[in-house]
Protein backbone atom coordinates (compact mmCIF):
# COMPACT_ATOMS: atom_id res chain seq x y z
CA UNK A 1 0.00 0.00 0.00
CA UNK A 2 3.01 2.21 0.22
CA UNK A 3 6.16 2.39 -1.81
CA UNK A 4 8.58 4.60 0.01
CA UNK A 5 11.93 2.95 0.25
CA UNK A 6 11.92 3.48 3.99
CA UNK A 7 13.95 0.92 5.84
CA UNK A 8 14.92 0.86 9.47
CA UNK A 9 15.43 -1.40 12.44
CA UNK A 10 13.62 -0.73 15.66
CA UNK A 11 15.23 -2.34 18.65
CA UNK A 12 13.52 -2.44 21.99
CA UNK A 13 15.63 -1.89 25.05
CA UNK A 14 14.16 -4.39 27.47
CA UNK A 15 13.81 -3.60 31.14
CA UNK A 16 16.54 -1.30 32.34
CA UNK A 17 18.49 -1.74 29.12
CA UNK A 18 19.86 -5.10 30.25
CA UNK A 19 20.25 -8.26 28.22
CA UNK A 20 17.11 -10.12 27.17
CA UNK A 21 16.38 -13.80 27.48
CA UNK A 22 14.74 -13.93 24.04
CA UNK A 23 15.03 -11.65 21.02
CA UNK A 24 12.25 -11.88 18.46
CA UNK A 25 12.64 -10.46 14.96
CA UNK A 26 9.80 -9.05 12.89
CA UNK A 27 10.02 -7.82 9.29
CA UNK A 28 7.14 -5.46 8.49
CA UNK A 29 5.83 -3.46 5.56
CA UNK A 30 5.66 0.33 5.58
CA UNK A 31 2.20 1.86 5.27
CA UNK A 32 3.30 5.47 5.64
CA UNK A 33 3.41 8.15 3.00
CA UNK A 34 6.45 9.97 4.40
CA UNK A 35 9.16 9.60 7.00
CA UNK A 36 6.82 11.24 9.50
CA UNK A 37 4.10 8.66 8.97
CA UNK A 38 6.29 5.59 8.54
CA UNK A 39 5.12 2.40 10.21
CA UNK A 40 8.39 2.51 12.14
CA UNK A 41 6.69 4.88 14.57
CA UNK A 42 3.74 2.56 15.10
CA UNK A 43 5.95 -0.43 15.81
CA UNK A 44 8.32 1.55 18.04
CA UNK A 45 5.43 2.61 20.26
CA UNK A 46 3.89 -0.88 20.33
CA UNK A 47 7.22 -2.58 21.11
CA UNK A 48 8.01 -0.10 23.89
CA UNK A 49 4.68 -0.80 25.56
CA UNK A 50 5.07 -4.57 25.20
CA UNK A 51 8.64 -4.74 26.45
CA UNK A 52 7.85 -2.63 29.49
CA UNK A 53 5.64 -5.48 30.69
CA UNK A 54 7.85 -8.32 29.36
CA UNK A 55 11.41 -7.64 30.52
CA UNK A 56 12.66 -11.02 29.31
CA UNK A 57 11.68 -10.40 25.68
CA UNK A 58 13.23 -8.03 23.17
CA UNK A 59 11.49 -7.27 19.87
CA UNK A 60 13.49 -6.08 16.86
CA UNK A 61 11.41 -4.75 13.98
CA UNK A 62 12.76 -3.91 10.54
CA UNK A 63 10.45 -1.91 8.28
CA UNK A 64 10.71 -2.00 4.48
CA UNK A 65 8.78 -0.45 1.61
CA UNK A 66 6.17 -2.52 -0.17
CA UNK A 67 8.48 -2.59 -3.17
CA UNK A 68 11.07 -4.49 -1.13
CA UNK A 69 9.55 -6.26 1.84
CA UNK A 70 8.41 -9.52 0.22
CA UNK A 71 11.77 -9.92 -1.48
CA UNK A 72 13.63 -9.16 1.75
CA UNK A 73 11.76 -11.90 3.59
CA UNK A 74 12.26 -14.40 0.77
CA UNK A 75 16.00 -13.75 0.74
CA UNK A 76 16.17 -14.23 4.51
CA UNK A 77 14.24 -17.49 4.32
CA UNK A 78 16.30 -18.78 1.40
CA UNK A 79 19.48 -18.02 3.36
CA UNK A 80 18.23 -20.04 6.34
CA UNK A 81 17.80 -16.87 8.38
CA UNK A 82 14.02 -16.56 8.57
CA UNK A 83 12.68 -13.88 10.92
CA UNK A 84 10.44 -14.99 13.75
CA UNK A 85 7.58 -13.05 12.19
CA UNK A 86 6.86 -11.33 8.90
CA UNK A 87 4.07 -8.92 8.02
CA UNK A 88 3.93 -9.02 4.22
CA UNK A 89 1.66 -9.67 1.24
CA UNK A 90 1.47 -13.47 0.94
CA UNK A 91 1.94 -16.46 3.19
CA UNK A 92 0.75 -19.60 1.38
CA UNK A 93 4.01 -20.59 -0.27
CA UNK A 94 5.79 -20.59 3.11
CA UNK A 95 2.94 -22.55 4.69
CA UNK A 96 3.09 -25.18 1.96
CA UNK A 97 6.81 -25.59 2.59
CA UNK A 98 6.15 -26.31 6.29
CA UNK A 99 7.95 -23.17 7.43
CA UNK A 100 5.13 -21.54 9.42
CA UNK A 101 3.46 -22.10 12.73
CA UNK A 102 -0.27 -22.71 12.67
CA UNK A 103 -2.20 -19.70 13.95
CA UNK A 104 -3.93 -21.99 16.46
CA UNK A 105 -0.57 -23.00 17.92
CA UNK A 106 0.33 -19.37 18.59
CA UNK A 107 -2.70 -17.31 19.46
CA UNK A 108 -5.01 -17.59 22.42
CA UNK A 109 -8.47 -18.88 21.52
CA UNK A 110 -10.23 -15.49 22.01
CA UNK A 111 -7.71 -13.71 19.77
CA UNK A 112 -7.90 -16.24 16.95
CA UNK A 113 -11.70 -16.30 17.18
CA UNK A 114 -11.80 -12.49 16.89
CA UNK A 115 -10.57 -12.43 13.28
CA UNK A 116 -13.30 -11.62 10.79
CA UNK A 117 -14.39 -15.02 9.51
CA UNK A 118 -13.92 -14.20 5.84
CA UNK A 119 -10.34 -13.07 6.48
CA UNK A 120 -9.53 -16.00 8.75
CA UNK A 121 -10.74 -18.36 6.02
CA UNK A 122 -8.57 -16.59 3.46
CA UNK A 123 -5.62 -17.28 5.76
CA UNK A 124 -6.03 -21.04 5.43
CA UNK A 125 -4.11 -23.62 3.44
CA UNK A 126 -5.82 -27.02 3.34
CA UNK A 127 -8.33 -25.82 5.94
CA UNK A 128 -5.61 -24.84 8.45
CA UNK A 129 -4.97 -21.18 9.25
CA UNK A 130 -1.37 -20.07 8.87
CA UNK A 131 -1.90 -16.51 7.63
CA UNK A 132 -3.13 -14.01 10.21
CA UNK A 133 -4.78 -10.98 8.59
CA UNK A 134 -3.09 -7.76 9.63
CA UNK A 135 -4.73 -4.97 7.63
CA UNK A 136 -7.61 -4.84 5.20
CA UNK A 137 -9.18 -2.48 2.69
CA UNK A 138 -11.83 -2.41 0.03
CA UNK A 139 -12.22 -0.24 -3.06
CA UNK A 140 -14.71 2.38 -4.22
CA UNK A 141 -14.68 4.79 -7.14
CA UNK A 142 -13.40 8.24 -6.18
CA UNK A 143 -14.29 11.28 -8.28
CA UNK A 144 -13.28 14.94 -8.16
CA UNK A 145 -16.38 16.98 -7.38
CA UNK A 146 -15.04 20.25 -8.77
CA UNK A 147 -13.97 18.70 -12.07
CA UNK A 148 -17.31 16.93 -12.36
CA UNK A 149 -19.12 20.19 -11.68
CA UNK A 150 -17.19 22.05 -14.38
CA UNK A 151 -17.92 19.26 -16.86
CA UNK A 152 -21.61 19.17 -15.90
CA UNK A 153 -21.62 15.44 -15.17
CA UNK A 154 -22.87 13.19 -12.36
CA UNK A 155 -21.14 10.22 -10.66
CA UNK A 156 -21.11 7.09 -12.82
CA UNK A 157 -23.03 3.91 -12.09
CA UNK A 158 -22.21 1.95 -15.26
CA UNK A 159 -19.24 1.47 -17.58
CA UNK A 160 -20.98 3.58 -20.22
CA UNK A 161 -21.26 6.37 -17.66
CA UNK A 162 -17.52 6.12 -17.01
CA UNK A 163 -16.74 6.42 -20.71
CA UNK A 164 -19.12 9.35 -21.21
CA UNK A 165 -17.82 11.13 -18.12
CA UNK A 166 -14.24 10.58 -19.20
CA UNK A 167 -14.97 12.15 -22.58
CA UNK A 168 -16.59 15.17 -20.88
CA UNK A 169 -13.62 15.55 -18.53
CA UNK A 170 -11.20 15.24 -21.43
CA UNK A 171 -13.05 18.02 -23.25
CA UNK A 172 -12.46 20.20 -20.18
CA UNK A 173 -8.71 19.53 -20.36
CA UNK A 174 -8.50 17.21 -17.35
CA UNK A 175 -5.07 15.54 -17.35
CA UNK A 176 -6.32 12.09 -16.30
CA UNK A 177 -10.05 11.76 -17.07
CA UNK A 178 -9.87 8.19 -15.75
CA UNK A 179 -6.65 7.05 -14.07
CA UNK A 180 -6.00 3.37 -14.81
CA UNK A 181 -2.93 2.25 -12.81
CA UNK A 182 -1.84 -1.06 -14.31
CA UNK A 183 1.84 -0.45 -13.55
CA UNK A 184 3.86 -2.98 -11.58
CA UNK A 185 3.29 -1.53 -8.10
CA UNK A 186 -0.28 -2.76 -7.58
CA UNK A 187 -1.61 -3.81 -10.99
CA UNK A 188 -3.16 -6.94 -9.50
CA UNK A 189 -5.65 -4.79 -7.55
CA UNK A 190 -6.87 -2.63 -10.43
CA UNK A 191 -7.03 -5.77 -12.57
CA UNK A 192 -9.21 -7.67 -10.13
CA UNK A 193 -11.48 -4.68 -9.50
CA UNK A 194 -12.23 -4.43 -13.20
CA UNK A 195 -12.60 -8.20 -13.57
CA UNK A 196 -15.16 -8.28 -10.76
CA UNK A 197 -17.12 -5.37 -12.20
CA UNK A 198 -17.33 -7.29 -15.48
CA UNK A 199 -18.63 -10.45 -13.82
CA UNK A 200 -15.29 -12.27 -13.83
CA UNK A 201 -12.31 -12.63 -11.54
CA UNK A 202 -8.99 -14.43 -11.19
CA UNK A 203 -10.65 -17.73 -10.30
CA UNK A 204 -13.78 -19.65 -11.23
CA UNK A 205 -16.35 -21.12 -8.84
CA UNK A 206 -14.29 -24.24 -8.20
CA UNK A 207 -11.24 -22.20 -7.26
CA UNK A 208 -9.21 -22.88 -10.40
CA UNK A 209 -7.80 -19.92 -12.31
CA UNK A 210 -10.02 -18.45 -15.02
CA UNK A 211 -7.95 -15.45 -16.03
CA UNK A 212 -8.79 -15.73 -19.73
CA UNK A 213 -12.53 -16.21 -19.20
CA UNK A 214 -14.95 -14.71 -21.69
CA UNK A 215 -15.96 -12.09 -19.11
CA UNK A 216 -12.38 -11.02 -18.41
CA UNK A 217 -11.49 -10.78 -22.09
CA UNK A 218 -14.58 -8.64 -22.67
CA UNK A 219 -13.62 -6.39 -19.76
CA UNK A 220 -10.11 -5.67 -21.01
CA UNK A 221 -11.31 -5.30 -24.59
CA UNK A 222 -13.70 -2.61 -23.35
CA UNK A 223 -10.92 -0.86 -21.44
CA UNK A 224 -8.67 -0.94 -24.51
CA UNK A 225 -11.33 0.34 -26.91
CA UNK A 226 -13.42 2.71 -24.79
CA UNK A 227 -10.89 4.33 -22.47
CA UNK A 228 -7.24 3.75 -23.39
CA UNK A 229 -7.72 3.78 -27.15
CA UNK A 230 -9.65 7.04 -26.97
CA UNK A 231 -6.93 8.77 -24.97
CA UNK A 232 -9.04 9.05 -21.81
CA UNK A 233 -6.56 7.57 -19.31
CA UNK A 234 -3.98 10.35 -19.21
CA UNK A 235 -0.44 11.00 -20.43
CA UNK A 236 1.14 7.93 -18.79
CA UNK A 237 0.22 4.63 -20.41
CA UNK A 238 -1.63 2.40 -17.93
CA UNK A 239 1.06 -0.28 -17.95
CA UNK A 240 3.56 2.28 -16.61
CA UNK A 241 1.25 4.13 -14.21
CA UNK A 242 1.70 3.00 -10.61
CA UNK A 243 -1.08 3.27 -8.05
CA UNK A 244 0.93 5.67 -5.87
CA UNK A 245 1.47 7.99 -8.84
CA UNK A 246 -2.23 7.88 -9.70
CA UNK A 247 -3.16 8.71 -6.09
CA UNK A 248 -0.72 11.63 -6.07
CA UNK A 249 -2.25 12.94 -9.29
CA UNK A 250 -5.74 12.70 -7.77
CA UNK A 251 -4.58 14.59 -4.67
CA UNK A 252 -3.13 17.24 -7.00
CA UNK A 253 -6.51 17.70 -8.68
CA UNK A 254 -5.42 16.19 -11.99
CA UNK A 255 -7.66 13.09 -12.01
CA UNK A 256 -11.37 12.92 -12.69
CA UNK A 257 -12.04 9.34 -11.55
CA UNK A 258 -10.13 6.33 -10.24
CA UNK A 259 -10.55 3.29 -8.02
CA UNK A 260 -9.21 3.99 -4.55
CA UNK A 261 -8.90 2.62 -1.03
CA UNK A 262 -9.33 4.52 2.26
CA UNK A 263 -5.86 6.09 2.40
CA UNK A 264 -6.75 8.23 -0.61
CA UNK A 265 -9.25 10.15 1.52
CA UNK A 266 -6.54 11.63 3.72
CA UNK A 267 -4.17 12.34 0.84
CA UNK A 268 -6.86 14.17 -1.12
CA UNK A 269 -8.25 15.95 1.91
CA UNK A 270 -4.85 17.34 2.88
CA UNK A 271 -4.54 18.92 -0.57
CA UNK A 272 -8.02 20.40 -0.41
CA UNK A 273 -9.50 18.20 -3.12
CA UNK A 274 -13.26 17.85 -2.83
CA UNK A 275 -14.01 14.24 -3.63
CA UNK A 276 -16.98 11.93 -3.72
CA UNK A 277 -17.16 8.15 -3.49
CA UNK A 278 -19.56 5.73 -5.16
CA UNK A 279 -19.69 1.92 -5.48
CA UNK A 280 -17.62 0.54 -8.32
CA UNK A 281 -19.65 0.80 -11.54
CA UNK A 282 -20.38 -2.40 -13.43
CA UNK A 283 -21.60 -3.14 -16.93
CA UNK A 284 -25.27 -2.40 -16.19
CA UNK A 285 -25.13 -0.87 -12.71
CA UNK A 286 -23.11 -1.01 -9.51
CA UNK A 287 -20.71 -3.94 -9.50
CA UNK A 288 -22.08 -7.04 -7.80
CA UNK A 289 -18.85 -7.48 -5.84
CA UNK A 290 -15.83 -5.44 -4.91
CA UNK A 291 -12.20 -6.13 -4.22
CA UNK A 292 -11.13 -6.80 -0.68
CA UNK A 293 -7.43 -6.79 0.16
CA UNK A 294 -5.73 -8.18 3.24
CA UNK A 295 -2.07 -8.15 4.21
CA UNK A 296 -0.73 -10.94 6.34
CA UNK A 297 1.20 -11.69 9.49
CA UNK A 298 2.96 -15.05 9.73
CA UNK A 299 5.34 -16.70 12.16
CA UNK A 300 8.25 -18.86 11.00
CA UNK A 301 9.08 -21.96 13.00
CA UNK A 302 12.81 -22.00 12.19
CA UNK A 303 13.92 -20.32 15.41
CA UNK A 304 11.39 -21.80 17.82
CA UNK A 305 10.13 -19.27 20.41
CA UNK A 306 6.55 -20.34 19.80
CA UNK A 307 5.27 -19.24 23.21
CA UNK A 308 6.99 -15.85 23.09
CA UNK A 309 5.81 -15.20 19.53
CA UNK A 310 2.27 -16.17 20.43
CA UNK A 311 2.18 -13.91 23.46
CA UNK A 312 3.50 -10.96 21.45
CA UNK A 313 0.95 -11.54 18.66
CA UNK A 314 -1.87 -11.67 21.22
CA UNK A 315 -0.76 -8.15 22.16
CA UNK A 316 -0.48 -7.04 18.52
CA UNK A 317 -4.08 -8.15 17.92
CA UNK A 318 -5.61 -6.51 20.97
CA UNK A 319 -8.57 -4.27 20.15
CA UNK A 320 -6.58 -1.19 21.16
CA UNK A 321 -3.67 -1.92 18.85
CA UNK A 322 -5.74 -3.04 15.87
CA UNK A 323 -7.83 0.11 16.14
CA UNK A 324 -4.78 2.34 16.45
CA UNK A 325 -3.11 0.90 13.38
CA UNK A 326 -6.31 1.06 11.35
CA UNK A 327 -6.91 4.68 12.29
CA UNK A 328 -3.29 5.71 11.79
CA UNK A 329 -3.30 4.41 8.21
CA UNK A 330 -6.97 4.68 7.18
CA UNK A 331 -7.32 0.92 6.88
CA UNK A 332 -10.00 -1.50 7.99
CA UNK A 333 -9.71 -3.58 11.17
CA UNK A 334 -9.24 -7.33 10.72
CA UNK A 335 -10.94 -8.26 14.01
CA UNK A 336 -14.57 -8.23 15.02
CA UNK A 337 -13.97 -6.29 18.23
CA UNK A 338 -12.09 -3.47 16.49
CA UNK A 339 -14.58 -3.43 13.59
CA UNK A 340 -17.50 -3.00 16.00
CA UNK A 341 -15.66 -0.21 17.81
CA UNK A 342 -14.93 1.53 14.53
CA UNK A 343 -18.52 1.20 13.30
CA UNK A 344 -19.76 2.72 16.56
CA UNK A 345 -17.23 5.54 16.64
CA UNK A 346 -18.17 8.88 15.10
CA UNK A 347 -14.52 9.63 14.35
CA UNK A 348 -14.47 6.81 11.79
CA UNK A 349 -17.59 7.72 9.80
CA UNK A 350 -15.55 8.38 6.63
CA UNK A 351 -14.54 4.72 6.60
CA UNK A 352 -18.14 3.50 6.75
CA UNK A 353 -18.52 2.86 2.98
CA UNK A 354 -15.42 0.66 3.03
CA UNK A 355 -16.26 -1.07 6.32
CA UNK A 356 -19.76 -1.97 5.13
CA UNK A 357 -18.58 -3.84 2.05
CA UNK A 358 -15.65 -5.72 3.64
CA UNK A 359 -17.70 -8.78 4.76
CA UNK A 360 -18.92 -9.42 1.20
CA UNK A 361 -15.80 -8.37 -0.70
CA UNK A 362 -13.74 -10.85 -2.69
CA UNK A 363 -10.07 -11.34 -1.87
CA UNK A 364 -7.16 -12.49 -3.98
CA UNK A 365 -6.73 -16.28 -4.04
CA UNK A 366 -4.05 -15.95 -1.38
CA UNK A 367 -4.57 -19.49 -0.11
CA UNK A 368 -3.17 -20.83 -3.39
CA UNK A 369 0.57 -21.32 -3.15
CA UNK A 370 0.70 -20.38 -6.83
CA UNK A 371 -0.72 -16.90 -6.18
CA UNK A 372 2.66 -15.27 -5.53
CA UNK A 373 3.95 -16.18 -8.99
CA UNK A 374 0.62 -15.40 -10.69
CA UNK A 375 0.54 -12.04 -8.92
CA UNK A 376 4.05 -11.23 -10.16
CA UNK A 377 3.13 -12.20 -13.74
CA UNK A 378 0.02 -10.01 -13.68
CA UNK A 379 2.06 -7.02 -12.50
CA UNK A 380 4.50 -7.45 -15.38
CA UNK A 381 2.12 -8.17 -18.23
CA UNK A 382 -1.44 -6.91 -17.71
CA UNK A 383 -0.71 -3.42 -19.00
CA UNK A 384 -0.11 -4.87 -22.44
CA UNK A 385 -3.73 -6.06 -22.59
CA UNK A 386 -5.07 -2.52 -22.89
CA UNK A 387 -2.48 -1.04 -25.21
CA UNK A 388 -4.00 0.30 -28.43
CA UNK A 389 -3.69 -2.56 -30.89
CA UNK A 390 -2.93 -4.98 -28.07
CA UNK A 391 -4.61 -8.35 -27.65
CA UNK A 392 -6.54 -8.79 -24.39
CA UNK A 393 -7.25 -12.42 -25.28
CA UNK A 394 -3.58 -13.06 -26.01
CA UNK A 395 -2.27 -11.44 -22.82
CA UNK A 396 -4.89 -13.04 -20.58
CA UNK A 397 -4.29 -16.38 -22.29
CA UNK A 398 -0.57 -16.14 -21.56
CA UNK A 399 -1.30 -15.33 -17.92
CA UNK A 400 -3.76 -18.21 -17.70
CA UNK A 401 -1.18 -20.64 -19.09
CA UNK A 402 1.37 -19.47 -16.53
CA UNK A 403 -1.23 -19.74 -13.77
CA UNK A 404 -2.19 -23.26 -14.82
CA UNK A 405 1.45 -24.35 -14.74
CA UNK A 406 1.95 -22.84 -11.31
CA UNK A 407 -1.30 -24.41 -10.09
CA UNK A 408 -0.34 -27.88 -11.30
CA UNK A 409 2.94 -27.56 -9.41
CA UNK A 410 1.20 -26.90 -6.07
pLDDT (0 to 100) of residue 3: 34
> Rounded to whole angstroms, how far apart are CA atoms 99 and 93?
9
pLDDT (0 to 100) of residue 185: 85
pLDDT (0 to 100) of residue 410: 66
Contact 181, 264 (CB under 8 A): no
Contact 291, 358 (CB under 8 A): no
Contact 298, 94 (CB under 8 A): yes
Write down the pTM of the prediction. Answer: 0.82
Ranges for all domains in the chain classified under CATH 3.40.190.10: 8-136+293-360, 140-290+370-408
CATH code for residues 140-290+370-408: 3.40.190.10
User: pLDDT tens, 317-365?
Assistant: 999 999 999 999 989 999 999 999 998 877 888 888 888 888 888 999 9
Best CA proximity match to 266, nearest among 338, 172, 205, 351: 351
Tell how far CA 160 is from the center of its chain.
Answer: 27
Contact 294, 120 (CB under 8 A): no
Residues of the chain with pLDDT under 70: 1-20, 410
pLDDT (0 to 100) of residue 335: 95
User: pLDDT tens, 148-174?
Assistant: 999 999 999 999 999 999 999 999 999
8-136+293-360, what's its fold?
D-Maltodextrin-Binding Protein; domain 2 (3.40.190)
Report the length, in residues, of the chain.
Answer: 410
Amino acid sequence: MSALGLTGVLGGCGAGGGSSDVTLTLVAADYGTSADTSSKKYWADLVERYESDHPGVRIEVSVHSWNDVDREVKEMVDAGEAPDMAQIGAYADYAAEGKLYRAGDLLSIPVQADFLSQLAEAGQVNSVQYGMPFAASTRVLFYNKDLFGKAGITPPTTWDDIAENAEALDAEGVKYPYALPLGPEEAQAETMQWMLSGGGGYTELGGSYGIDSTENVATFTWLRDELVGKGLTGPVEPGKLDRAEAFEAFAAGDVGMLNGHPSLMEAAGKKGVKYGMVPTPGVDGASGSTLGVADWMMAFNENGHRDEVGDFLDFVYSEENVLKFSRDYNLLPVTGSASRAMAAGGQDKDLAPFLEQLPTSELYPVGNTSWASVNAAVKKQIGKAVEPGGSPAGVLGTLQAAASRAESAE
